[in-house]
Structure 1
Amino acid sequence: MIQKPICFLALLISLLFSVPLQAQQRIPLEVLPSGHIVVKAAINGVEGRFIFDTGGGINLLTQKFAQRVKGLQKQDGRLTAFRAIGDRLDVELYTAKSITVGAFVANSTTLTVYEGELGGLDGLLALTAFQRQPFTLDLHNKQLVLETPASLAKRRKSDNVIPLQVGNAHGQTLDISAYFRVNDKLTLLFPLDTGAGKGVYRINSAFASQLGIDTAALAPTNRIVRASEFSPNNRNVIYRATLDKLTPQAIPSLQLTKAPVQLVNGLIYDGIIPIDWLGEQLTIDIPHQVLLIN
């Protein structure tokens, strides 16, 4: 499984000057065995392979790739944020002239640079470039579809709809979340994270007893103490258990049963979940704050 250094940050820096496409574009995707989605994009004209990460929050380049990109402008300020498990991160910020995906171009986009490796990939492509451009993850055909107003209107007539909670504080942060019913007991707000990996469901361990999960009764092999990659003194206790049922609040008929779950101590969200189980064609429309499911 690819480790994401900042993939749980829900961060967006600066407004983007991008215009939705007038002609629908289909861009090939690669789906790794880990479940991570990879797309080709160009930063200031330099092409690379990036994890398409709806939970990444900020575009990220590996230092090795960034050294190939000309024209990155370092910003004066820095960003302080927190990973989902509570790590504080202070990152330097850069402005890219353009991020290009197919025929779509997002200009004056903020990103950060990571000194480590990402399994041979060049970085993370977050939602920041697409806050004005609706798109569909067609997992069946392995395509990223950049929607037009006409194609989006057609999808809205036929697809199921999950309202999104779009967080955008002061034009600097962006995240998408939705409400889910868990074990028919709690309604929790979960960030939707394509970068979590296949079958990785995380819920704050504070809800364990309310969900009918007795962490004290779990086998020792289902209790893990994991040190942070960034702050070794920060250790999280993770309990492995099973969810009886998970369903979107807006679509009760869509249910996931007997799913493995990680109950994480110190998680700063109610939970974090992938979205591939919701359907094979998923349209994320940030301007209208909806997730459309074919």
Structure 2
Amino acid sequence: MRRLFMALAGLLFISAAAAAAQPQAVFKLESYRKTVALHATVHGHDGLFLLDTAGGITLLSPAFAAKAGCKPWGRLSGFQMMGQRLDAPRCDSIDFTLGDQVFRAPVTAVLDVAPLVAKDAAPVAGSIALDLFAGKTITVDIPGRRLIIESPASLQARIAHARELPVLRSREMQGRALAASVGVATSRGMLWFELDTGNGGTLLVSQPYATLLGLDPTAKGPQQASFAVAAGLRAQGMAFTPDMILDGNLGMPFLHDKVITLDLQAGRLWIAQGQPRG
């Protein structure tokens, strides 16, 4: 009897510990072309939104904004990776409901994002960027197709099997936007590559840094890349070396099998190898 009691007590302890380590929320990610997306409800209207970790600011398409009752006003201005200026009107204090969780975007841009993905991309309601989760710790599990809002306990369990890497947070558009870049060490110094779930097919290395990563800066088309992001962690795939205003950009060729955890409050980043979910 004593052994049975101890066994039951042990099971209860394990169950309590497991429950304590549960994340705050888990949301399903869906495939959209070569990127990922998720469903959210805005003012009672459901829509499919790209998850764009390098987008900076969350977007509503003009059609979805009108359906949700948003009346765009003013102007937001920013720059795309290649230096083009992008202007868009705004909507303020928009609540996005994911599952049973509500996340408020202080400011959203009103812009049709699908043509920025591809000329023939299917329409979407907009895109969700890191600004929607400012102050939180999130995990983007690409192979597992999950977006996770971590609790303090689940974060500790998560990072026990992940590698911490240097990260920079950038807040453009007068502090409204939020994106994250991982540090890539070279023989001349540290480069910062945006982590970009919205980039489905390429690795991008700014032309002045191409040779440091074994690439030809004069190449007009794609070239095969294989360079170290960290010891034992390589970016491999088709790369371009444009004259861009960022050091570089790591899209799905790098992210497709990774689990990325970002503490957006403290500015910390962990990366682990992921496993596809059944």
Normalising to structure 1: TM-score of the pair? 0.73
- The sequence identity of aligned pairs, in percent, is 27
**Matching residue of 2:165:** 162
The letter of the residue matching 1:69 is A
**Matching residue of 1:84:** 81
The letter of the residue matching 2:34 is G
1:173 aligns with 2:177: yes
Query: Deviations for 1:56-110, whole angstroms, at most 9, x for unmatched residues?
Result: 111111112112102x3545x4222111111112221111441122232122521
Q: Is the 8 A contact 1:186 1:211 kept in 2?
A: no
Q: What SS does the corresponding residue of 1:153 show, helix, strand or coil? A: helix
1:272 aligns with 2:249: yes
**Matching residue of 1:241:** 223
**Matching residue of 1:230:** none
Q: Is the 8 A contact 1:192 1:275 kept in 2?
A: no
**Larger-Rg structure:** 2
**Matching residue of 2:208:** 206
Query: Deviations for 1:182-208, whole angstroms, at most 9, x for unmatched residues?
Result: 6x676411111110114x101111223
Gapped runs of 5+ residues in structure 2?
1-21, 115-120, 273-278
**Matching residue of 2:9:** none
More helix by share: 2
**Matching residue of 2:19:** none
1:38 aligns with 2:42: no
Q: Distance in 2 between matches of 1:147 and 1:80?
A: 32
Q: Distance in 1 between matches of 2:113 and 2:104?
A: 26
Q: What SS does the corresponding residue of 1:67 show, helix, strand or coil? A: helix
Gapped runs of 5+ residues in structure 1?
1-21, 224-238
The letter of the residue matching 2:48 is R
Query: Deviations for 1:110-167, whole angstroms, at most 9, x for unmatched residues?
Result: 1111257552211111111111221222223322122112111222333211232112
Cα distance change of structure 1 residues 135 and 276 upon mapping to structure 2, 3 Å threshold: farther
Q: What is the alpha-carbon root mean square deviation over aligned residues?
A: 2.5
Q: Distance in 2 between matches of 1:95 and 1:177?
A: 26
Q: How many residues align?
A: 243
1:281 aligns with 2:263: no
1:94 aligns with 2:106: no
Q: Which moved more, 1:85-94 or 1:47-56?
A: 85-94
